[in-house]
Amino acid sequence: MTREISRRSLFKASVVGAAAAGAATVSNAASAAEKGRTETYDVVVIGCGCAGMAAAIEAKNAGAKVCILDKMPRPSGNTIFSGGIINAAGTYVQKQEGVNDSLDAFYADMMKVSQGRGDPALTKMYVEKSADAVQWLTSECGIKFRRLEKESWPMLQRGHVVDGPLKPHGAQLAKQMLDRVKALGIPVFFNTKVIEITRSEVLHATGVKAVDEDEELVTFKARGGVIVCTGGFHNNKELICRYMCVPSSQNQPLFDAKSFVSWLVFSGCHGNLQSLFHQRVA
Ligand SMILES: Cc1cc2nc3c(=O)[nH]c(=O)nc-3n(C[C@H](O)[C@H](O)[C@H](O)COP(=O)(O)OP(=O)(O)OC[C@H]3O[C@@H](n4cnc5c(N)ncnc54)[C@H](O)[C@@H]3O)c2cc1C
């Protein structure tokens, strides 16, 4: 009980501020925050999905002292539920299988499936980097891909499915990336929920405050920066509607068919719209 009150107070102290909370509570919370355990790294990565693990591996390979924080006891975000299909063009896998592809054709296909609503710059960057990403997963994490199959979308053979015994294939992806993280000696703090990104007066991120598995406050200082890889906001209707939905009125369902498809297209699941659509809708 004491811990719970203390944690809530600390959260208030960081988010709401002294003006909103009782002065005594805030100052107690602030001094408790000062007293908590402190760890110092060059880079702090929040989130142990494929994005966070990739960022941490690259930071480590660049010589940084890096750690990963995740609020769950293991990687538990979208990555482990995903189809593990990486859509890419110009890859070593396509070349091995004699598939002729081009970046222009891949870009055109991506824009077609989003009905022209994909961000052109982001789509271009994704297309241009996709082959390197596939190569990186193999070279860095030992990930192998199944034989390419021709699908109605993405056109040609662009769906690179992670191979291995775990299903869905995203779980295999996460396992092999986590194996690599461990092999590199990158500390992963599970059951550690970030509640605040600390910053300097000029708004540079200086680290994070987190609550660990014992419900104690821990300060992670980051000399070089904080990388936020906490996944999407697909479970938050308010944010989805603010950024992605067509306007709704009281007489209309929150998601009509058109907005639901828009949501899927823009939801960060561009990599596999088709399988996501089948898993969620069929
Ligand atoms: C059913 C499904 C199928 C999909 N299939 C594909 C596919 O085949 N191909 C494809 O390209 N894409 C696919 N996607 C999309 C893809 O899975 C995601 O875009 C991708 O996994 C996102 O990875 P991430 O590392 O950004 O986030 P996540 O994997 O969601 O990881 C985020 C992590 O952050 C942690 N976290 C969150 N908040 C905090 C906090 N405050 N403190 C500490 N930790 C926190 C979470 O516990 C989690 O472990 C699919 C998505 C779904 C839902």
Q: Which atom of ligand 1 is nearest to the CA of 79?
A: 21
Rounded to the nearest angstrom, the distance between the alpha carbon of 76 and the centre of ligand 1 is 8
Rounded to the nearest angstrom, the distance between the alpha carbon of 232 and the centre of ligand 1 is 7
Q: Which atom of ligand 1 is nearest to the CA of 234?
A: 53
Q: Which atom of ligand 1 is nearest to the CA of 280?
A: 1
Whether 207 contacts 78, CB under 8 Å: no
Closest-CA residue, ligand 1 atom 41, reads 194
pTM: 0.80
pLDDT tens for each residue of 73-100: 999 999 999 999 999 999 999 999 999 9
Whether 71 contacts 191, CB under 8 Å: yes
Tokens 């769906």 appear where? 159
* CA–CA distances in Å: residue 5 to residues 30, 33, 191: 14, 14, 19
Whether 277 contacts 83, CB under 8 Å: no
The list of the chain residues with pLDDT below 50 reads 1-33, 248-282
pLDDT of residue 20: 31
pLDDT of residue 122: 95
N-to-C CA span, the chain: 45
pLDDT of residue 115: 86
Give me the amino acid identity at 104: D
Whether 203 contacts 225, CB under 8 Å: no
Within 6 Å (CB) of ligand 1, which residues are found?
46-52, 69-72, 75-79, 81-86, 170, 193-194, 229-231, 268-269, 271-272, 275-276, 279
Quote the CA–CA distance of 248 and 85 in Å, as a whole number: 33
pLDDT of residue 152: 73
Domain spans in the chain, listed from the N-terminal domain onward: 38-77+186-227, 85-167, 231-282
pLDDT of residue 166: 97
Pick the CATH number of 38-77+186-227 from 3.30.565.10, 1.10.3720.10, 1.20.120.420, 3.50.50.60: 3.50.50.60
pLDDT of residue 35: 65
Rounded to the nearest angstrom, the distance between the alpha carbon of 164 and the centre of ligand 1 is 19
Residues 6+ apart with CB under 8 A from 219: 33, 36, 37, 38, 39, 198, 207, 208, 209, 210
